[in-house]
Amino acid sequence: MKRENRKKQNRRKTGVRLILLSFLLIPLFSYLYIISLHSNNLINLPLSILMVWLDVASLFILLAGIVLVINNKKDENYKKMRLWKKIVLTIFFIGYIGCSSTLMILFYGPYNGFRDWYVTSAMTTLSHQYLATWIYDDDTIEAIRYDNDVIEVKEDTNPDLVEITGGDVTISVYANQYEEEILKKDKGNDLYKIIDIKEKNFKGKMAVIYDPSKVHIAPSKYIGSDVETAKGQMIYTMEKDSGSVISMNASGFYDPDYNSKGGVPRGCVISNGKKIINNAGYKFSVGGLIGFNNENKLVLSRTMTCDEAMKSGIRDAIQYGPFLIVNGKSSYVKGNGGWGVAPRSAIAQRKDGIVLFLVIDGRQKSSLGADMKDLSNILLRYGAYNAANLDGGTSSAMSVNGSIITHPMNGNFQPKTRIVPDAWVVHK
């Protein structure tokens, strides 16, 4: 009799284990099948069919477990599972099923907000695009990017509309708090001031430069066109070498292995009236030339070539985008702009000639990052008349007097920036 009871107990324990195993497998294979319906990159058709069969097999495991439990009822000598084990298992399975179901709803449910943020953020990192391509097919990704885009103003800047005054220090009554922050200079410093940017989901730094003639491009000593030999530098190194007091990342760069030396900029680089390099093979779908002319006015041109820029008197320039504000008109940002939420850098000029450097921290609990709409809103608030987005992500950083004052974060969530081909700097 005792042997029979032991057998029943063992069969019952086996049944319980089979039920618990099925609770693990059924959601797993179901979710993988759902992913397979939306992605052709992670799970192909044969694997999709396999997921169905594995799900069916998991259901049979569940039924087998239930049958074993029902057919082998407990007797008075049956050892009950300890309470703490029941609590742990209950919490685990509620968390497992609840969290995984929530993720499926976020990724594939009717609400588009999370999905759009996830895809656009992943696709603009370059090194982590697989996070989107593994769970969405190409058509879905393309549709999401279409719904989240920056529709730029279809004109170039008109420098005549900017009148350089550097800010009127005699003002005692300001239009608003942002004008006061800009125009009220720090005591003993007529060159620049630093403003803390604090929003609900992000924070950063804005450098206000009162004399636009001091703003230049400082290229890396090793900038070039060969990915193997060209090498970037840290922005504070270029700041120091150029005799400057402020620096911020500028050009985007070729990064084929996502771990390049950062020395090959995309497009044209002009510094102090000299054409440093022109990697014209890169085609800009948005933005274009971002530079200052000999009148120290920010020029944004969607069509100007590097040679045309030189002939027209552009003294310092790079190429990037999108353009956020042109002649006081803000670009139309659909959704989140298609660039996701990430660390960001931007450059702008007010109508009075004051230049703004903006860097937003990202990939941190205290600062998730900004999208294109966030950048535009901040710059408009501070009176930007012309503005352009710059390279973001791990490259986004600002240095003052040789020290990084922002909090850069790389794609692996490590607190560090990287070497870049050039930097916007402010000469002493």
pLDDT tens track for 316-336: 999 999 999 999 999 999 988
Tell me what the mean pLDDT of segment 118-131 comes to: 79
- The pLDDT, as a whole number, for residue 256 is 80
Average pLDDT, the chain: 90
Name the percent of the chain lying above pLDDT 70: 93
Mean pLDDT of 127-145: 85
The three-state secondary structure class of 418 is coil
Determine the pLDDT at residue 78.
Answer: 56
pLDDT in tens, 244-299: 999 999 999 998 877 789 999 999 999 999 999 999 876 667 899 999 999 999 99
Backbone φ, ψ for residue 132 (5° rounding) = -95, -45
pLDDT in tens, 138-189: 889 889 988 888 999 999 999 999 999 876 666 778 889 999 999 999 988 9
Average pLDDT over residues 371-400: 96
Tell me how far apart the alpha carbons of residues 107 and 342 are, in angstroms, rounded to a whole number.
Answer: 19
- At residue 336, the pLDDT reads 83
AA letter at 53:
W
When pLDDT is averaged across residues 384-389 and rounded to a whole number, the result is 98
| Cβ atoms of 405 and 194 closer than 8 Å | yes
pLDDT for 199? 95
Tokens 């990064």, residue?
255
Rounded distance between C-alpha atoms, residue 105 and residue 97, angstroms:
12
Which of the four pLDDT bands, split at 50, 70 and 90, describes residue 63?
very high
Residues contacting residue 286 through CB under 8 Å, at least 6 positions apart: 150, 152, 321, 322, 323
Does the pLDDT of residue 109 top 80, yes or no?
yes
How far apart CA 129 and CA 134 sit, in angstroms, is 9
The shares of helix, strand and coil residues in the chain, as percent rounded to the nearest 5, are 35, 25, 40
pLDDT(1) > 60:
no
Q: Lowest mean pLDDT: which of 33-47, 235-249, 363-377?
A: 33-47
Q: Is the pLDDT of residue 231 over 80?
A: yes
Residues, the chain: 428
pLDDT band for position 35 (cuts 50, 70, 90): confident
Question: Quick one: which H or E segment has residue 279?
Answer: strand 274-279
Domain range annotation of the chain: 2-111, 115-147, 152-427
pLDDT at 83 (0 to 100)? 80
Confidence tier at 384 by pLDDT (50, 70, 90):
very high
CB of 295 within 8 A of CB of 159?
A: yes
% the chain with pLDDT above 90: 64
